[in-house]
């Protein structure tokens, strides 16, 4: 779909993710949709947004059509504020300078725990995934936003391995595990926008995307969802959001 008034599921995912960010925040962004969303927010609503990369870049300002495929790509450094070593960037997390962590994942469970390590039995996994990188550091020390495709095999009751902690087993278990700050803030998919219950810390639907029913979301989820008392419908992408997004990613590397 190429008309300004139509959009792909991936474009919806990036735009809804961008809307979660606020001007003046410091965002630790992963490659792919998280970076595209952060860059879109920076170009449309949040000019003072600061983007950090695990590779060491602080204050990245990505040029249209030149989205880097890796956090170590030197295109990330153009017009950046500074470039540090990876350890120094992760130290900024520990010092509390980062507001939001923005990542994807292969699996997520009802408490917002992410798995990017392996699928199946740890002794003989069916699939090996990329692993943690800085994912554990980011999720342990910031408020997390996760953007991912909504499938039952991805939205599971319990992840096969907790690579990046959300609310662990719910309730106060994150704090009891030694992580007093941060936690999962939002999960964005092509079907809905999710938050987490204040007490149980279980995932709940805050807003359905246009044309999506409660039944469709539940049918594509491997655990019982909660629905907010005031479940809304997300506004569709605006023409300005779509035009800016397509300018940033003209070859549809992340939004096909």
CATH of the domain at 190: 3.40.1080.10
Percentage, residues of the chain above pLDDT 90: 68
Residue in 179, 156, 149, 166 with CA at minimum distance from that of residue 114:
166
Count of the separate structural domains present in the chain:
1
Query: Does 1 map to a domain?
Result: no
Query: Does 193 map to a domain?
Result: yes
User: Could you list the residue range(s) of the whole structural domain that residue 138 is in?
Assistant: 9-248
The predicted model scores a pTM of: 0.91
Query: Does 83 map to a domain?
Result: yes
DSSP state of 63: P
Active site residues: 54
The mean pLDDT value for 134-148 works out to 92
Query: Does 243 map to a domain?
Result: yes
Q: Are 105 and 115 contacting, i.e. CB atoms less than 8 angstroms apart?
A: yes
Query: Does 102 map to a domain?
Result: yes
Helix (H) or strand (E) holding 29, with range, is strand 26-29
- Kindly list the distances between the CA atom of residue 168 and the CA atoms of 1, 110, 148, 164, 173, in Å, as whole numbers in the listed order: 39, 9, 19, 9, 6
Query: Does 73 map to a domain?
Result: yes
pLDDT greater than 70 at residue 22: yes
Q: Are 62 and 248 contacting, i.e. CB atoms less than 8 angstroms apart?
A: yes
For residue 89, the model assigns a pLDDT of 87
Query: Does 160 map to a domain?
Result: yes
The mean pLDDT value for 212-241 works out to 95
3-state secondary structure of 187: strand
pLDDT greater than 80 at residue 70: no
């Amino acid at each position: 779909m190429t008309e300004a008034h139509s959009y792909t599921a991936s474009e919806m995912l990036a735009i809804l993710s961008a809307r979660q960010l606020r001007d003046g925040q410091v965002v630790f962004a992963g490659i792919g949709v998280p970076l595209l969303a952060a860059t879109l927010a920076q170009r449309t609503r949040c000019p003072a947004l600061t983007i950090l990369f695990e590779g060491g870049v602080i204050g990245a300002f990505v040029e249209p059509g030149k989205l880097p495929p890796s956090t170590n790509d030197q295109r990330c450094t153009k017009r950046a504020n500074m470039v540090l070593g990876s350890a120094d960037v992760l130290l900024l997390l520990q010092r509390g300078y980062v507001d939001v962590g923005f990542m994807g994942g292969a699996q997520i469970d009802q408490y917002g725990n992410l798995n990017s390590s392996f699928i199946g039995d740890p002794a003989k996994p069916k699939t090996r995934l990329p692993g943690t990188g800085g994912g554990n550091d980011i999720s342990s020390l910031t408020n997390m936003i996760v953007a991912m495709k909504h499938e039952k095999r991805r939205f599971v009751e319990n992840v096969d391995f907790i690579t990046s902690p959300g609310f662990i087993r719910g309730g106060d278990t994150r704090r009891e595990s030694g992580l007093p700050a941060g936690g999962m803030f939002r999960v964005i998919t092509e079907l809905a926008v999710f938050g987490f219950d204040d007490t149980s810390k279980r995932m709940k639907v805050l807003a359905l995307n246009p044309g999506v029913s409660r039944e469709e979301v539940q049918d594509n989820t491997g655990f019982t969802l909660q629905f907010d008392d005031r479940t809304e419908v997300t506004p569709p992408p605006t023409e300005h959001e779509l035009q800016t997004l397509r300018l940033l990613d003209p070859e549809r590397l992340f939004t096909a």
